[in-house]
Amino acid sequence: MKVKVISRSTDEFTRERSQDLQRVFRNFDPTLRTQEKAVEYVRALNAAKLDKIFARPFIGAMDGHRDSIKCMAKNPSYLKGIFSGSDDGDIRLWDIASRRTVCQFPGHQGAVQGLTVSTDGSILVSCGSDCTVRLWNVPGATLAVSDNLSDNSAKALAVYVWKNAFRAVDHQWDGDLFATAGAQVDIWNHNRSQPVNTFDWGTDTTISVRFNPGEPNILATSANDRSITLYDLRMSSPARKVIMRTKANSIAWNPMEPLNFTVANEDCNCYSYDARKLDEAKCVHKDHVSAVMDIDFSPTGREFVTGSYDRTVRIFQYNGGHSREIYHTKRMQRVFCVKYSSDASYVISGSDDTNLRLWKAKASEQLGVVLPREKKKHEYLEAVKNRYKHLPEVKRIVRHRHLPKPIYKAANLRRTMIEAERRKEQRRKAHSAPGSVVTESIRKRRIIKEVE
């Protein structure tokens, strides 16, 4: 006879000293945990509720400007710094952590329309409606925050006066060129007082410009004539152009997939394009109820943030048709510029009410140091929530957002209008000869033509 029975000595299964950690044994056998699916579902539901409770995205406002904020620039080499330029010609460098002005850059006479920082973070370029481009030395990270602002005002390195007012500026990645947008697209060198190159295609003003993060010689611009144009600096003439039905206010390249870019359009939508294939948008991001003014990609390339004339900031997935998140406060006015912070965890918006606002990118994220166990727990809850997100109870909680009344109403109205249009189209189709009315997909409908 051979016999063995389970016998556990207490010493083997408990800790020796009270300073030791308790011993933990695992057995992943499914029969030990009954109804695991129901348990997971309950956890998902609770996690969704907790997320709603902890969703407090607004961190604080940074005030100091005396006019509406028109443009912002991130410092690529310093996480805490952000530059902002306002309508009265004031440029400020902010310390995000303390939410205070670190330094001011006086000089512009009219509105500051564009700000950009060179990739090494040493030179700030600003341009404005006073027809000047100004280059500034970016103060070091060690600059202390002090109350006395007059000490901390910088002098311009160089002032280049040019023929026309500027609307936007962007610095090349890994290079010392920068491009300004105005009556035409000018390419500048740091050391030359005149543009090294000028592009012109059409007569209307170019309103935004953005260099490609992957290929330093390619840039995209949008103009008042509703066109989006791609330029290659190595060629003498512009490369390609697409004309849409409404103008694009801003452009952002996806930093992780640098052949894709997204434009913030006047018709309340954002359109993601593949730069190689401009006859059709890759994705249409709907949700805003007024013109989208600015757009910025998260450094992860999975999300982007938009600011709109409807006084809200929204966060979209790079391939999502609808926004993941909407941020608004009572006092926030028209949003003219937004930026995603370089660590992808904050969003900064600048608006008409002269304030910069700092938001969390994930509304219910826990700030501060998160212990590994806590982090694991958060990840687990995120996963179960994701797994059960299609179930009605979870979906309802996860999707719900409180909207200001005007936006709620405007969204309803827009929905009604779109629906009516769709119905009309359907009826027209039904009562015409088959094939004579062609419904184009939303991704193509807003594009007029593509020009080579």
Partner 1 sequence: MLILVPSISAASLRAASSQAFPKRRLKRERTTDLSFQKTAAAAPCDRQASLTFLPFLFISMGSKEENGDGEMDQTVKKYLRGEAANLEGLQDKKLKGQLAIREELYGKSAKAAAKIEKWLLPSEGGYLEAEGIEKTWRIKQESIAREVDILSLRNQYDIVLPELGPYTIDFTPNGRYMAAAGRKGHLAVVDMKTLSLIKEIQVRETVRDVVYLHNELFFAAAQKKYPYIYNRDGTELHCLKEHGAVSRLQFLKNHFLLASINKFGQLHYQDVTMGEMVGNYRTGSGRTDAMQVNPFNGVVALGHSSGTVTMWKPTSAAPLVKMLCHPGPVSSLAFHPNGHLMATSGKEKKIKIWDLRKFEVIQTLSGHAKTLNFSQKGLLAAGTGSFVQILGDFSGSQNYSRYMSHSISKGYQVGKVLFRPYEDVLGIGHSMGWSSILIPGSGEPNFDSWVANPFETSKQRREKEVHSLLDKLPPETIMLDPTKVGTVRPARKKEKKPTKEEREAEMEAAVEAAKDTDIKKKTKGRNKPSKRAQRRKEIIDRAKRPFLEHWVEEQETFRKKQKTNMETEMPKSLQRFVRQKAT
Interface pick for partner 1 out of 17, 26, 405, 431 (rule CB under 8 A): 26
Residues 347-386 that bind partner 1 (CB under 8 A): 373, 376-377, 379-380, 383-384, 386
Cα angle, residue 218 at apex, residues 212 and 221 outer, rounded to 5° = 80
In sequence order, the β-bridge partners of residue 116 are 125
Show the beta-strand stretches assigned E in 18-155. 58-63, 69-74, 81-86, 91-95, 100-104, 112-117, 123-128, 132-137
Interface pick for partner 1 out of 17, 163, 276, 390 (rule CB under 8 A): 390
* CA–CA dist 48, 41 (Å, integer): 11
Cα distances (Å, whole numbers) of residue 339 to 73, 137, 239, 247, 404: 8, 22, 28, 21, 23
Is residue 25 involved in binding partner 1 (CB under 8 A)? yes
Show the beta-strand stretches assigned E in 329-446. 335-340, 346-351, 355-360
* CA–CA dist 427, 433 (Å, integer): 12
**Those residues with Cβ within 8 angstroms of residue 452's Cβ, 6 or more apart along the chain or in another chain:** 240
Q: By C-beta, is 66 or 376 nearer to partner 1?
A: 376
Is residue 1 involved in binding partner 1 (CB under 8 A)? yes
Q: By C-beta, is 204 or 379 nearer to partner 1?
A: 379
Q: Print burial letters for 152-169: b (CB count within 10 Å at least 16), e (below 16).
A: bebebeeebebeebbbbb
Is residue 35 involved in binding partner 1 (CB under 8 A)? yes
Residues 218-237 that bind partner 1 (CB under 8 A): none
Is residue 54 involved in binding partner 1 (CB under 8 A)? no
Is residue 37 involved in binding partner 1 (CB under 8 A)? yes
Spell out, one character per residue from 285 to 314, where the chain touches partner 1: x when CB under 8 A holds, - when not: ------------------------------
- The residue type of 264 is A
The pair of structure tokens assigned to 163 is 């023929």
Is residue 157 involved in binding partner 1 (CB under 8 A)? no
Q: By C-beta, is 174 or 379 nearer to partner 1?
A: 379
In the complex, the smallest distance separating the C-beta of residue 21 from partner 1, rounded to whole angstroms, is 8
Is residue 438 involved in binding partner 1 (CB under 8 A)? no
Show the beta-strand stretches assigned E in 352-389. 355-360
In the complex, the smallest distance separating the C-beta of residue 242 from partner 1, rounded to whole angstroms, is 25
Interface pick for partner 1 out of 4, 17, 330, 402 (rule CB under 8 A): 4
Q: By C-beta, is 39 or 420 nearer to partner 1?
A: 39
Is residue 391 involved in binding partner 1 (CB under 8 A)? yes
Interface pick for partner 1 out of 16, 20, 31, 431 (rule CB under 8 A): 31
Q: Which of 304, 271, 276, 249 is nearest to 446 (CA)?
A: 271
Is residue 17 involved in binding partner 1 (CB under 8 A)? no
Interface pick for partner 1 out of 16, 29, 147, 151 (rule CB under 8 A): 29
Q: Are 310 and 267 in contact (CB under 8 A)?
A: no
Residue 41: burial class (beta carbons within 10 Å; 0-12, 13-18, 19+): middle
Count of residues in contact with partner 1, rule CB under 8 A: 47
Is residue 19 involved in binding partner 1 (CB under 8 A)? no
Is residue 8 involved in binding partner 1 (CB under 8 A)? yes
Is residue 32 involved in binding partner 1 (CB under 8 A)? yes
Interface pick for partner 1 out of 16, 19, 27, 140 (rule CB under 8 A): 27
Interface pick for partner 1 out of 282, 387, 414, 429 (rule CB under 8 A): 387
- The residue type of 350 is G
Q: Which stretch binds partner 1 (CB under 8 A): 1-9, 231-239, 359-367, 399-407?
A: 1-9
Interface pick for partner 1 out of 17, 34, 116, 438 (rule CB under 8 A): 34
Q: Distance between alpha carbon 205 and the CA centroid of its chain, in Å? A: 24
The pair of structure tokens assigned to 353 is 């009410």
Is residue 23 involved in binding partner 1 (CB under 8 A)? yes
Is residue 191 involved in binding partner 1 (CB under 8 A)? no
First to last CA, the chain: 89
Cα distances (Å, whole numbers) of residue 73 to 85, 98, 124: 9, 18, 9
Is residue 147 involved in binding partner 1 (CB under 8 A)? no
The pair of structure tokens assigned to 378 is 């958060």
Is residue 161 involved in binding partner 1 (CB under 8 A)? no
Binding site for partner 1 (CB under 8 A): 1-10, 13-14, 22-43, 46, 373, 376-377, 379-380, 383-384, 386-388, 390-391
